[in-house]
């Protein structure tokens, strides 16, 4: 290649993108590279975009390696590793003049300049073309001068379930790739001087699915039911993997209706239950959500958003189910909705969801999306010193009334077999003892009793986080998974007159935040949907009018460049 030497010098961060078809082993390359780089002390962020098919198509994984913490997607590609002929056309819009391509020229059929690395030929020399992805891992590792012991350890660990011959050949493939990578680094004068951070090696490295699942465990979850539906399935499978060690009952139901009703039954019996689903499955659950509202049952629902309507784009990302979550279910009853923006949020808010559901006897919905679920990055270990499992079940006496009128609207919750009282619940309107009633006056009292809980819930609302200086003139508003991309865009912008307000609790909204908006000359809402659903919520509940919106609804997440370009125009 005849690129300028300066084009291959990286001192802040480097964006590596892997491209190939489903079934080709891109996830293996991503897994190994991220673990190897973290073991070296680099901050690592990885995310992916993939088609809804088991084999074929064109998928990609992005790995950002940095000297500081990074957790946002960028459009630019510094280093591209295409493993099939469709990768370059698929990523064409992201390939720039300074993108270095490490590819097998004979298989890619492109005129773009590249460093020719015959991955398949090398793999065949090892014994099978399937080892091509491990060759790529070795080649990229060499550009960072990764410690060979770290590389070998990660390869051996990843393939530990295979027989010794497979492990040996993968080690050999990584070694051959490493040798070629060293040659490329020297011939192309690649200098990667990104600072390492020793404590990164001791940090945890996980994605949103694992963070939500760990939060559920910390919340005392001992029953989970689900009908698998991307991108929520990772939470269910992780809990299933831990079920025997932690005493969690895991049930893959025949459909989403059964899944949520099983969880309602589990709460009724005294368990702490969660159901995990996506938009289509959640739609089927709305009758049971109303049932939870009527019988005042706790319920934790993980709703991982994906683009709709109908099947939509089942493996892509969007924030278009906010209104669905707020208004799902017939009748009027309280609910709480969290929308985590970080892995830390995903853990702590899920843990909190179980306590609040138990305390207020109401559904709590955790609203995530594919971006958060499938993104990995390193963070410090969770602080468990303040994590407490709060349980509010009481022993019922003979005079027990499940729906006894109280000033707060919350009645003591008993469970069958604990005490001498009768635990009667009914989906029809009922009296204090749980028996059916059609008395108009009692009906009104019961509606008011249930809605009283909103006053208590508002006292515990998580306030939005203000990022940046307080003397802003322009206020950018975001919620959920847009946190990191907006934050990084503002960091790059570097202006003191632009602030960022992030909401991680989106319903009910806190009423005491008017001053954040009144001091702003301009309010901009950034969200991954077409109709600015959160913007409408601000107007409805807080009277805040955001005249400008930055909306994206093509199934892909915001890149830092997207938000930055818009902010620069104003």
Could you give the CA distance from residue 243 to residue 246 in angstroms, rounded to a whole number?
5
Please state, in angstroms and rounded to a whole number, the distance separating the CA atoms of residues 539 and 250.
41
Residue 8: band (very low, low, confident or very high) from pLDDT cuts 50, 70, 90: confident
Confidence of residue 1 (pLDDT cuts 50, 70, 90): very low
Q: Is residue 568 within 8 Å of residue 524, measured between CB atoms? A: no
CATH superfamily for 5-202 is Pyruvate-ferredoxin oxidoreductase, PFOR, domain III (3.40.920.10)
pLDDT classification of 5: cutoffs 50, 70, 90? very low
Domains 5-202 and 205-379 share a fold: no
Cα→Cα distances 162→158, 167, 170, 524, Å: 9, 7, 11, 52
pLDDT value at 450 more than 90:
yes
pLDDT value of position 117: 96
Contact, 91 vs 80, CB < 8 A? yes
What average pLDDT score do residues 351-369 get?
Answer: 98
- Please check the confidence at residue 2 and state whether its pLDDT lies above 80: no
Summarised one tens digit per residue, pLDDT across range 113-142 is 999 999 999 999 999 999 999 999 999 999
Can you tell me the distance from the alpha carbon of 284 to that of 286, in angstroms, rounded to the nearest whole number? 6
Distance CA 140, CA 102 (A): 9
Q: Kindly report the CATH number that applies to the domain delimited by 205-379.
A: 3.40.50.970
Give the mean model confidence (pLDDT) for residues 74-85. Answer: 96
Q: What's the pLDDT at 81?
A: 97
Parse the chain into domains and list their residue ranges.
5-202, 205-379, 393-459, 465-569
Secondary structure of residue 555 in the 3-state scheme: coil
3-class SS at 190? coil
Residues 6+ away with beta carbon under 8 Å from 570: 474, 522, 524, 548
Burial of 198 (0-12, 13-18, 19+ CB in 10 A): exposed
Instruction: Return the higher-pLDDT residue of 23 and 303.
Output: 303
Share of the chain above pLDDT 70, in %: 99
Asked whether residue 25 carries a pLDDT value surpassing 90, the answer given is no
* CA–CA distance, 227 with 477 (Å, rounded to integer): 34
Q: Are 498 and 567 in contact (CB under 8 A)?
A: yes
Res. 6: pLDDT tops 70: no
pLDDT at 512: 86
What is the rounded average pLDDT of the residues 313-327?
97
The angle that helices 343-360 and 208-218 make with each other, rounded to 10 degrees, is 40
SS (H, E, C) 37-103: HHHCCCEEEEEEECCCCCCEEEEEEEEEEECCCCCCCCCCCCEEEECCCCHHHHCHHHCCCCCEEEE
CATH number belonging to domain 465-569:
3.40.50.920
This prediction has a pTM of 0.96
The average confidence (pLDDT) of the chain is: 95
Mean pLDDT of 61-68: 97
pLDDT, tens digit (0-9, with 9 covering 90-100), for 265-305: 999 999 999 999 999 999 999 999 999 999 999 999 999 99
SS3 367: strand
Residue 4 pLDDT: 44
């Amino acid at each position: 290649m005849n690129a300028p030497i300066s084009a291959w010098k990286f001192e802040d961060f480097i964006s590596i993108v892997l491209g190939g078809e489903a079934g080709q082993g891109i996830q293996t390359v991503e897994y190994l590279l991220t673990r190897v780089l973290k073991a070296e002390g680099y901050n690592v962020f990885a995310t992916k975009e993939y088609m809804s098919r088991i084999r074929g198509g064109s998928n990609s994984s992005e790995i950002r390696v940095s000297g500081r913490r990074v957790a946002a997607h960028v459009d630019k590609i510094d280093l591209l590793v295409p493993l099939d002929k469709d990768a370059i056309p698929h990523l064409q819009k992201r390939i720039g003049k300074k993108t270095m391509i490490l590819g097998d020229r004979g298989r890619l059929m492109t005129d773009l300049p590249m460093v020719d690395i015959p991955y398949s030929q090398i793999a065949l020399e090892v014994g099978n073309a399937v080892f091509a992805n491990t060759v790529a891992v070795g080649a990229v590792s060499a550009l960072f001068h990764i410690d060979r012991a770290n590389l070998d350890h990660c390869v051996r660990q990843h393939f530990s379930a295979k027989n010794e011959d497979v492990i040996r050949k993968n080690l050999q493939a990584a070694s051959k790739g490493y040798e070629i990578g060293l040659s490329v680094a020297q011939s192309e004068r690649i200098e990667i001087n990104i600072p390492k951070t020793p404590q990164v090696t001791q940090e945890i490295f996980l994605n949103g699915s694992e963070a939500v699942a760990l939060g559920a465990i910390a919340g005392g979850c001992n029953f989970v039911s689900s009908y698998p539906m991307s991108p929520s399935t990772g939470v269910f499978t992780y809990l299933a993997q831990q079920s025997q060690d932690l005493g969690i009952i895991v049930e893959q139901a025949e459909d989403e209706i059964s899944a949520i009703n099983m969880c309602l039954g589990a709460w009724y019996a005294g368990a702490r239950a969660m159901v995990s689903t996506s938009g289509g499955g959640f739609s089927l659950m709305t009758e049971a959500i109303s049932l939870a509202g009527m019988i005042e049952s706790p319920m934790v629902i993980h709703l991982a958003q994906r683009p709709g309507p109908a099947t939509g784009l089942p493996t892509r990302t969007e924030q278009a189910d906010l209104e669905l979550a707020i208004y799902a279910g017939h009748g009027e009853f309280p609910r709480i909705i969290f929308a985590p923006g970080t892995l830390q949020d995903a853990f702590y808010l899920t843990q909190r969801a179980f306590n609040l559901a138990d305390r207020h006897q109401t559904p709590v919905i955790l609203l995530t999306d594919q971006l958060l679920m499938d993104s990995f990055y390193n963070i410090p270990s969770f602080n468990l010193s303040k994590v407490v499992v709060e349980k509010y079940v009481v022993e019922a006496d003979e005079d027990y009334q499940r729906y006894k009128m109280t000033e707060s609207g919350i009645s003591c919750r008993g469970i069958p077999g604990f005490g001498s009282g009768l635990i009667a619940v009914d989906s029809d309107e009922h009296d204090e003892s749980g028996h059916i009633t059609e008395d108009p006056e009692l009906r009104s009292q019961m509606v008011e009793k249930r809605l009283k809980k909103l006053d208590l819930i508002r006292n515990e609302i998580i306030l939005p986080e203000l990022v940046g200086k307080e003397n802003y003139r322009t206020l950018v508003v975001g919620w959920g998974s847009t946190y990191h991309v907006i934050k990084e865009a503002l960091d790059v912008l570097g202006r003191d007159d632009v602030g960022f307000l992030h909401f991680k609790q989106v319903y009910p909204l806190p009423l005491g935040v008017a001053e954040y908006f009144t001091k702003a000359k301009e309010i901009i809402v950034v969200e991954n949907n077409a109709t600015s659903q959160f913007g409408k919520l601000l107007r409805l509940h807080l009277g805040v009018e955001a005249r400008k919106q930055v909306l994206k609804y093509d199934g892909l997440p915001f890149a830092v460049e997207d938000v930055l370009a818009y902010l620069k125009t104003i």
